[in-house]
Structure 1
């Protein structure tokens, strides 16, 4: 068994695929740097991310998959489902070993798993686009904190860039400790490290604009005023807005 260690990026994983074929590695397992423990019995192959190698793998996949098929593969990486690296590897093996397009071959477990993972990511991205709630800081930066099940920031950035093009904003993924920042011109990826104990409600109050709480209270009152008790459907509400999102929703924190 060979443990293939890469840096955890999509480009790193594509480079790993190139290396597996180039070095004829067999019986491989994927390990990301931060979780690397190595194989107790077996060899370790360390991958150095290489843009040229990853692009060559992508070129090969483009010849055998549709744009939707490639998108599903990338979304599987973003899904962070258990053993997604291996699922993607088995999918790619099936793609390269078949003379025809296999992305609709749902009888193959890897093809089905990729489809389901991509569906999960698409649903999560759609929910984030709907449920993100911005707050305003004293320096006029709109910020939102999210904790999605999947790594969807790369998928939702264009939505918020086009919708909020006239204001600076930051969407921070607290689960993965990075965010996307829009400076009125471009969207960039940023890393933010909070000191222990500083990310408190008191800190948020200190950096928030003095009128922010007023507008949040208005929104909470509006939400309550348009709610018709006789038509409440808790089960349907939870289906469309799972409870794990509530702590970041203004209308649910009043």
Structure 2
């Protein structure tokens, strides 16, 4: 499966604004329904949508090639990815929805829901039949699901941006391993590219076996091939920078000292930082040395000398 950092992997300029007025609807799908397959990419799915209306045949199913489950007498139509057709569909959607609504369709695709392809077709078809934006038409189940999945994707994106922790290797590369519920790497790429523009880094999604690599110039998608699944994807201690254990200890010490035990609220803590993220957080790992309160601070008694001031007895 190919991965894109953005829909169609490039910005598209269009003079068409948000669809406020009713537009001409989509052609009627009058031919018998078909089963469609594609290469699993977003551009491939847009190519399928183009073929649906070109053939005037609604989909019984839309499945990636490797996941096709057809019947004995069913011969699915395999649609090759066509960049021109995909761009035409992607730009054409702006006739019926604004850019935010169109972006939500890309987010739903990244959610990896089993029926995401049919869901996106139904949403796009409903918008084209209506001839206008339907993002607030919550009476429709497809609209509600698209909105809900887009919200879940936004939360996962925000958490990944907050909870990613890097480890520095001997060659100066900052490495982080994540295992998100959704395919959010294309969504977090702009954040990390902007925030860590002065260092080389790699964020690896161990569930989907691909990552983002920034080389101080650009961020690229990198894929990892392996004969068998690997359970342990952490960086070996032998390739880490010799100062990395110190960095980890300092990070843990910082969190220990800013913690206020009297205000501890684990229920609220788990709500904002779910347990499934803890395995990647340095501050949540076992302490290599016990926490000790800072010893160089003394309370100032009312009317007493200020910290650091000498006493008359000591002079």
The aligned residue for residue 136 of structure 2 is 104
Give the Cα separation in 2 of the matches to 1:34 and 1:222.
48
| Runs of 4 or more consecutive aligned structure 1 residues displaced over 6 Å after TM superposition | none
Q: How large is the Cα RMSD of the aligned pairs?
A: 1.8
Q: Aligned residues, how many? A: 254
- Structure with bigger gyration radius: 2
More deviation, 77-86/163-172: 77-86
Report the alpha carbon displacement of residue 195 of structure 1 after superposing the two structures with TM: 6.5
Could you tell me how far 1:183 is from its partner in structure 2?
A: 0.2
Provide the residue aligned with 2:58 in structure 1: 26
- TM-score between both structures, scaled by the size of structure 2: 0.76
Say if 2:182 is the partner of 1:150: yes
Matched ranges for 1:81-230 at <5 A = 81-193=113-225, 200=232, 204-230=236-262
Q: Which residue among 261, 271, 274 is the counterpart of 1:239?
A: 271
Mean Cα deviation higher: 49-58 or 199-208: 199-208
Aligned residue for 1:77? 109
User: Do 2:252 and 2:282's aligned partners in 1 also have CA atoms closer than 8 Å?
Assistant: yes
2:70, 2:76 within 8 Å by CA — same for their partners in 1?
yes
Cα distance, 1:42 vs structure 2:
2.9
Q: Which has the higher helix share?
A: 1
Task: Please report how far the alpha carbon of residue 199 of structure 1 lies from its aligned counterpart in structure 2 after TM superposition.
Answer: 6.6
TM-score by length of 1: 0.94
- C-alpha separation between the residues in 1 aligned to 2:229 and 2:285? 21
Q: CA deviation at 1:27?
A: 4.3
- Which of 49, 54, 72 matches 2:86? 54
CA shift for structure 1 position 81: 2.4
For the residue of structure 1 that corresponds to 2:57, the secondary structure is: coil
Are 2:53 and 1:17 aligned?
Answer: no
CA distance in 2, matches of 1:100, 1:71: 16
Consecutive unaligned residues in structure 2, runs of 5 or more: 1-32, 287-315
| Pair 1:201–1:189, CA change in 2 (3 A) | closer
The 1:70/1:197 distance shift into structure 2, 3 A limit, reads closer
SS in 2 for 1:43: coil
Unaligned ranges ≥5, structure 1: none
